Structure 1
Amino acid sequence: MLKRSRSVVAAATLAVVLALGACESAPSGPGDEPQPKANGATGTTAGSGGPGVVAPGKPGEPARTLSPEEAAKAVPPDTPNAADFMYTQMMIVHHGQALEMTALAPKQAASAQVKALAARIAAAQQPEIGAMRGWLKSNGGPRAQTGHDHGTMPGMATKTQLAQLRAARGAAFDQLFLTLMIVHHEGAVSMATEVLSQGNNVQVEEMANDVIAQQTAEINRMRSM
């Protein structure tokens, strides 16, 4: 009797499981509403006759559901824009002047701290120039810029100031180098901050964030020196 009772219970349980499985796998009828997706989209967009297209957003931004017409016109989220090209091209020149200034330190600076700082700046910015040149090459090369003069970039030392730095020696060089380089770094941070709000490319955004973090720390170090 005990074995028979267990068999009856098992058979009943199996029947319930099969019934539930059939309900879950039953196809939707013609009048059934589409089930919402995890992000709230139903797979179609208002006013369109076809399925929606999920367009990924930038890092930290949610995806959007576009109509087929909107998707055809949409720009991929990582496509470089004019601000990205302008930033990389101008920052190559900006970094280049920093290397010109740091090259003077080994022979003209009096302070070992200034010499070490100049070496660190050069060691960081030379690879950054290479990375930005590589980015430009990968994205079709430099673009013509209108309305922007490299000489008016924030933080750039004038020809007169560079001549004074080349002529300075000892403590006078140290003082002028730190003064000019602080302003130079502040200009680079300003440019990097601007491209973060106006650019569209993730790789450029990463390079700009590196500039902000590194050069802000160096500004504080130079001020204390």
Structure 2
Amino acid sequence: MNRQRTLMLIGVAVVVLGAGGVALATRSGKDISAAVPRAGVSSGPPERVILPGRPGDPAVVTDSDKVRAPDGSTYNSIDTTFVQMMIVHHGQAIEMAKLAPVRAGDAHLRALADRISAAQGPEVAWFQGWLRDRRLPPSNPAHDHRAMPGMQSDAAMAALAGLTGTAFDREFVRMMSDHHQGAIQMAGDVLGGGADPVLRELANEMAVEQGSEIRRMRQLSAA
């Protein structure tokens, strides 16, 4: 997994999975669990998933908590849904960030937008590779991407693209903060119910990083 993005983190995050919730802490010991809502994961039986067979072989139906990747690691339907949806979610954040270099009035905000693109672009590539390694489709037609937490409407995106200077800065901070909060919420779901330990690690790091970026945007808007 590409680790260059971790240089941006305040500290290495530690995941603590407790009954009914998720707690996050940095090396400094600061608890940031308030940034990640409790995951709404069902405690019922595992979902059934269909694994495609080799060419000419039939597909196999199995429990989602028993699926194994080629490297032997276990993953489930919560992991798969998170990865498929996060590709689209990150894509919109990158789209917003790419508006900043020519539209933002604040140089610090332009630098933060560049940081967002630099972090989320490699994450998208990693998510895509995760799906390819498991022979899973890059997206699920059943997913309503517009309903993902933090996703901004087409109208809001078009309006943002028409702003410059202080007006752009103010709207960018509002929209990107909301977008990041949505990503943190989705990370909480996979932390609470996912089965892939590497994916949970990345989701944890993502939540810490985006929480830090939200705080930075609030500081810039208050300045």
| Residue 78 (structure 1) shift | 3.7
Determine if contact 2:128/2:138 at 8 Å carries over to the other structure. no
Written as runs of structure 1 = structure 2, the 5 A alignment for 1:129-140 is 129-140=124-135
| Residue 80 (structure 1) shift | 1.2
Counterparts of 1:143 and 1:113, CA distance in 2: 34
Written as runs of structure 1 = structure 2, the 5 A alignment for 1:31-180 is 75=66, 78-142=73-137, 145=140, 148-180=143-175
Structure with max Cα Rg: 1
| Residue 143 (structure 1) shift | 6.9
Once the two structures are superposed, residues 139-172 of structure 1 have per-residue CA deviations (whole angstroms, 9 ceiling, x without a partner) of 1122764753111000011111101100001100
Residue-pair matches, total = 155
2:137 aligned counterpart, secondary structure: coil
Counterparts of 1:209 and 1:135, CA distance in 2: 17
Of Structure 1 and Structure 2, which has the larger fraction of its residues in helix? Answer: 1
Name the aligned partner's letter for residue 94 of structure 1.
H
TM-score where L is the length of structure 2: 0.65
TM-score where L is the length of structure 1: 0.64
Structure 2 vs 1, CA of residues 125 and 217 (structure 1 numbering), >3 Å: closer, same or farther?
A: same
| Residue 203 (structure 1) shift | 1.7
1:198 matched to 2:172: no
Show the counterpart of 1:218: 213
Q: Which has the higher contact order (CA 8 A, sep 6+)?
A: 2
Structure 2 vs 1, CA of residues 146 and 170 (structure 1 numbering), >3 Å: closer, same or farther?
A: closer
Counterparts of 1:123 and 1:84, CA distance in 2: 23
Uncovered stretches (5+) of structure 2, i.e. residues with no partner: 1-15, 18-62
Determine if contact 2:84/2:139 at 8 Å carries over to the other structure. no
Determine if contact 2:149/2:183 at 8 Å carries over to the other structure. yes
Show the counterpart of 1:35: none
Percent identity between matched residues is 43
Name the aligned partner's letter for residue 90 of structure 2.
H
Name the aligned partner's letter for residue 174 of structure 2.
T
Once the two structures are superposed, residues 174-216 of structure 1 have per-residue CA deviations (whole angstroms, 9 ceiling, x without a partner) of 0000000000000000000111111111121111111111101
Counterparts of 2:99 and 2:135, CA distance in 1: 35
Structure 2 vs 1, CA of residues 102 and 133 (structure 1 numbering), >3 Å: closer, same or farther?
A: same
Counterparts of 2:79 and 2:135, CA distance in 1: 13
2:111 aligned counterpart, secondary structure: helix
Aligned-pair RMSD on alpha carbons? 2.2
